[in-house]
């Protein structure tokens, strides 16, 4: 079932939480609402669910206006961050709860409810825990039970609010893979809220980046990372190094640091954005870059070595970060305090008077 959001505005007293939100969520896709705290993503999710009512705008499910429809009539499953399981009920009773409280005319008979609960617990791979209580479960198991309970009502849309936020890193990663696999198997329309960039890019088909109650960009994870539309999106999607200065004679300068730009870059105030993996470290400057640093810290944990750099002899308050391979690190053995130079291979230029960023290559 597709979701179409048209001109949604939401106020809480004098505070406007959402500003003219227009968004299409395709049928059968997994969509992430990504943004920092206060960006409006949870408010938008609750409006889709029917838990909040907008002052202006419409919500359509496959073309049907549900804006004024009560939450119980929307056929939406909602999974909360903190599970909201009933402590005095067993796992099976928690999953069955929504079915048990349906009006008599809509309620399945008891054998049908037991059958559906058993199928759902098998689906989330927890049928062996049917008679346990929530206090006896791990965080990951509780989240799976919350998901099974939401799906017991056979919703046409599944909404998840920070579904992995209360879990530790390894469980969160395992549960992400499991949810993606389940979604691919059942093909329901899903929308989840997160502030975790890695989670959004890894799990979703479409990412909606939000800031201050507005949509900044809607794209696939690959397009979003490769071609951010704004400085906010670029900075929000992970670590970034920034060289701010004036472009003059094809060169952007910040104090004694400079990078020579490819042809076509005109005089303007600008910022050159460089992701850690788009920068190399050298012992000497090159003909197209003079970016001197001192190594501030080295972290060997992870797939690559993360090197933090402090600008040396030029005015920049922020540390830079560069990723190098373990092979390169073992060959060079850089140490804290060593002088080195950063050399960009790819950069993203934001000019003051040009709307679209420009991707540059020096390779």
Residue 90 has pLDDT above 90, yes or no: yes
How much is the pLDDT for 155?
83
Residue 166 has pLDDT above 70, yes or no: no
Q: How confident is the model at residue 272 (pLDDT cuts 50, 70, 90)?
A: very high
In this prediction, what percent of the chain has a pLDDT beyond 90? 58
Residue 173 has pLDDT above 90, yes or no: no
More confidently predicted of 72 and 320? 320
Pair (110, 209) in one structural domain: yes
- For residues 191 and 160, the answer to whether their CB atoms sit within 8 Å is yes
Pair (185, 129) in one structural domain: yes
Region 341-353: what's the mean pLDDT?
91
CATH of the domain at 344: 2.40.50.140
Region 21-37: what's the mean pLDDT?
95
What is the rounded CA–CA span in Å between residue 3 and residue 25? 5
| 241-267 pLDDT per residue, tens | 999 999 988 899 999 999 999 876 777
Residue 305 has pLDDT above 70, yes or no: yes
How much is the pLDDT for 25?
96
How much is the pLDDT for 146?
85
Q: How confident is the model at residue 36 (pLDDT cuts 50, 70, 90)?
A: very high
Residue 234 in any domain: the answer is: no
- For residues 39 and 210, the answer to whether their CB atoms sit within 8 Å is yes
Q: How many CB atoms lie within 10 A of CB 154?
A: 10
What is the rounded CA–CA span in Å between residue 19 and residue 26? 22
Question: Which neighbouring-strand residues pair with 349?
Answer: 272, 358
How much is the pLDDT for 183?
82
> Model's pTM, two decimal places?
0.82
Pair (154, 204) in one structural domain: yes
Pair (144, 278) in one structural domain: no
Residue 341 in any domain: the answer is: yes
> Across the chain, what does the average pLDDT equal?
90
Residue 147 has pLDDT above 70, yes or no: yes
Region 320-345: what's the mean pLDDT?
94
Q: How confident is the model at residue 240 (pLDDT cuts 50, 70, 90)?
A: very high
- For residues 208 and 236, the answer to whether their CB atoms sit within 8 Å is no
How much is the pLDDT for 230?
87
For residue 3, give the nearest of 85, 56, 65, 90 by alpha carbon.
65
| 92-125 pLDDT per residue, tens | 999 998 888 888 888 888 999 999 899 888 888 8
Question: Which neighbouring-strand residues pair with 282?
Answer: 341
Pair (174, 259) in one structural domain: no
Region 198-221: what's the mean pLDDT?
94
Pair (115, 45) in one structural domain: yes
Region 353-360: what's the mean pLDDT?
81
CA 236 vs CA 228, 232, 273: distances in Å: 10, 6, 12
Region 206-222: what's the mean pLDDT?
96
Residue 277 has pLDDT above 80, yes or no: yes
Residue 212 in any domain: the answer is: yes
Pair (221, 246) in one structural domain: no
Residue 59 in any domain: the answer is: yes
Region 71-88: what's the mean pLDDT?
83
Query: What would the 3-class secondary structure string for the chain be?
Result: CCEEEEEEEEEECCEEEEEEEEEEECCCCEEEEECCCCCCHHHHHHHHHCCCCCCEEEEEECCEECCCCCHHHCCEEEECCCCCCCCCCCHHHHHHHHHHCCCCCCCCCHHHHHHHHHHHHHHCCCHHHCCCCHHHCCHHHHHHHHHHHHHCCCCCEEEEECCCCCCCHHHHHHHHHHHHHHHHHHCCEEEEEECCHHHHHHHCCEEEEEECCEEEEEECHHHHHHCCCCHHHHHHCCCCEEEEEEEECCEEEECCEEEECCCCCCCEEEEEEECHHHEEEECCCECCEECEEEEEEEECCCCCEEEEEEECCCCCCCCEEEEECHHHHHHHCCCCCCEEEEEECEEEEEECCCCCCEEEECC
Residue 84 in any domain: the answer is: yes
Number of residues assigned to the chain: 363
How much is the pLDDT for 357?
85
Q: How confident is the model at residue 293 (pLDDT cuts 50, 70, 90)?
A: very high
What is the rounded CA–CA span in Å between residue 146 and residue 143? 5
Pair (33, 174) in one structural domain: yes
In this prediction, what percent of the chain has a pLDDT beyond 70? 99
Residue 167 has pLDDT above 80, yes or no: no
Range(s) of the domain holding residue 335: 239-361
More confidently predicted of 184 and 329? 329
Residue 233 in any domain: the answer is: no
Residue 232 in any domain: the answer is: no
Pair (34, 151) in one structural domain: yes
């Amino acid at each position: 079932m597709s979701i179409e959001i048209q001109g949604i505005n939401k106020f809480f007293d004098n505070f406007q939480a959402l500003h003219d939100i227009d968004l299409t969520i395709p049928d059968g896709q997994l969509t992430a609402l990504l943004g920092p705290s206060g960006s409006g993503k949870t408010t938008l999710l609750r409006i889709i669910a029917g838990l909040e009512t907008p002052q202006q705008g419409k919500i359509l499910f496959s073309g049907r206006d549900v804006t004024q429809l009560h939450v119980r009539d929307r056929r939406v499953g909602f999974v909360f961050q903190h599970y909201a399981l009933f402590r005095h009920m067993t796992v099976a009773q928690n999953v069955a709860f929504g079915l048990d409280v349906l009006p008599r005319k809509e309620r399945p008979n008891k054998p049908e409810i037991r059958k559906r609960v058993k199928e759902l617990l098998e689906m989330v791979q927890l049928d062996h825990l049917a008679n346990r209580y929530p206090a006896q479960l791990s965080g990951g198991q509780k989240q799976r039970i919350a998901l099974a309970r939401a799906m017991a009502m056979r919703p046409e849309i599944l909404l998840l609010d920070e579904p992995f936020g209360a879990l530790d890193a390894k469980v969160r990663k395992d549960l992400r893979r499991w949810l993606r696999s389940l979604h691919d198997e059942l093909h329901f329309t899903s929308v989840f809220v997160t502030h975790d960039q890695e989670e959004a890019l890894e799990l979703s088909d479409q990412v909606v980046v939000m800031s201050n109650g507005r949509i900044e960009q809607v794209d696939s994870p690959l397009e979003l990372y490769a071609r951010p539309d704004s400085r906010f999106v670029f900075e929000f999607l992970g670590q970034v190094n920034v060289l701010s200065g004036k472009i003059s004679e094809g060169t952007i300068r910040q104090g004694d640091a400079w990078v020579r730009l490819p042809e076509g870059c005109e005089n303007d105030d600008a910022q050159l954005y460089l992701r850690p993996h788009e920068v190399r470290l050298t012992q000497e400057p090159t003909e197209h870059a003079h970016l001197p640093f001192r190594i501030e810290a080295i972290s060997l944990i992870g797939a690559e070595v993360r090197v933090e750099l402090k600008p040396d002899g030029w005015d920049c308050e922020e540390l830079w970060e560069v990723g190098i391979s373990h092979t390169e690190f073992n060959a060079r053995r850089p140490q804290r305090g060593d002088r080195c130079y950063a050399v960009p291979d790819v950069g993203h230029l934001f000019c003051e008077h040009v709307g679209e960023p420009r991707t540059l290559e020096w390779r």
